Chains A and B, each alone.
Chain A
């Protein structure tokens, strides 16, 4: 089946630094990728929809200057958490929609811990 790779799987950073998380579709092209955030023991909350070659669409309440999303190619979207703070610690999951089948595939997630 189709694979979506997220990197890094785990990241620990100091407060005030920026962290970039990559989401790659390994064997298919994706014009649309989605970024979710999951708090402990809670559901996935959609943060933004990322479309290749255009600006991301952010959900209400998500700071676009805080969570920078870039979808520069049909196989890569990146989420940069700028000036991270401890409250940004969370599990971030991306998903990619296949151009061919329209199916949605999920990455394994990236756990961010901000000290």
Chain B
């Protein structure tokens, strides 16, 4: 069975500082990994994905994530956080054509 763990319910970071939102996964087969962002009462916005190739994936709004197979992790990072980055972030995984399985989400709060 597929699963995603986001160990932090909340991450607080000062504006301008680097941010990391953690994600680990469990899947049989090759993982397809995704990060989405959700603003209040809105659907999900795609940030980035890892399918194959370079372990460092760059996505929207300056976010990036690094696929680490040995640690089964796919942490989301940004070198310099903005107040507008404050939102709920979901990590998700699937394998082949199976449905996406989401983590519980991490609320990011960027403080000015």
Residues of A near any B CB (own CB < 8 A): 6, 34, 41-44, 46, 49, 91, 93, 95, 104-109, 111
Segment of B13-21, B39-47, B63-71, B72-80 engaged in the interface with chain A: B39-47
Nearest chain B residue, comparing its CB with the CB of A36: B102
CA separation between A105 and B46, bound complex, in Å?
8
Q: How far is the CA of A84 from the CA of B104 in the complex (A)?
A: 26
> Considering the chains assembled together, what is the distance between the CA atoms of A104 and B99 in angstroms?
10
Number of interface residues of B (CB under 8 A): 15
Chain B interface (Cβ < 8 Å from any Cβ of A): 36, 41-46, 90, 99-105
A44 touches B99 (CB 8 A): no
Q: Which residues of A contact B104 (CB under 8 A)?
A: 42-43
Docked complex Cα distance between A49 and B98 (Å): 10
- Flag if A106 contacts B99 (CB, 8 Å): no
Query: When the two chains form their complex, are residues B44 and A93 in contact, meaning their CB atoms are under 8 A apart?
Result: yes
Q: How far apart are A20's CB and chain B's nearest CB, in angstroms?
A: 18
Per the bound structure, the CA–CA distance linking A34 and B97 in Å amounts to 12
- Cβ–Cβ < 8 Å partners of B101 in chain A: 46
CB pair B43–A42 under 8 Å, yes or no, is no
- Kindly list the 7 A-B residue pairs having the minimum CB-CB distance in the complex, ordered from nearest: A108-B43, A106-B44, A109-B43, A43-B104, A44-B102, A106-B43, A43-B102
Checking A34, A43, A93 against B99 with a beta-carbon cut-off of 8 angstroms, the contacting residue is A34
- Beyond A6-B43, A106-B36, A111-B41, whether A46 also contacts B99 by CB under 8 A is yes
Q: Closest CB-CB distance, B9 to chain A, in whole Å?
A: 9
Q: Looking across the interface, which residue of chain A has its beta carbon closest to that of B100?
A: A104
In the complex the two chains form, what is the Cα distance from A49 to B99 in whole Å? 8
Query: CA separation between A30 and B36, bound complex, in Å?
Result: 20
Query: Can you offer 22 A-B residue contacts whose CB atoms are under 8 A?
Result: A42-B104, A43-B90, A43-B102, A43-B103, A43-B104, A44-B90, A44-B102, A46-B100, A46-B101, A93-B43, A95-B44, A95-B100, A104-B100, A105-B46, A106-B43, A106-B45, A108-B42, A108-B43, A109-B41, A109-B42, A109-B43, A111-B41
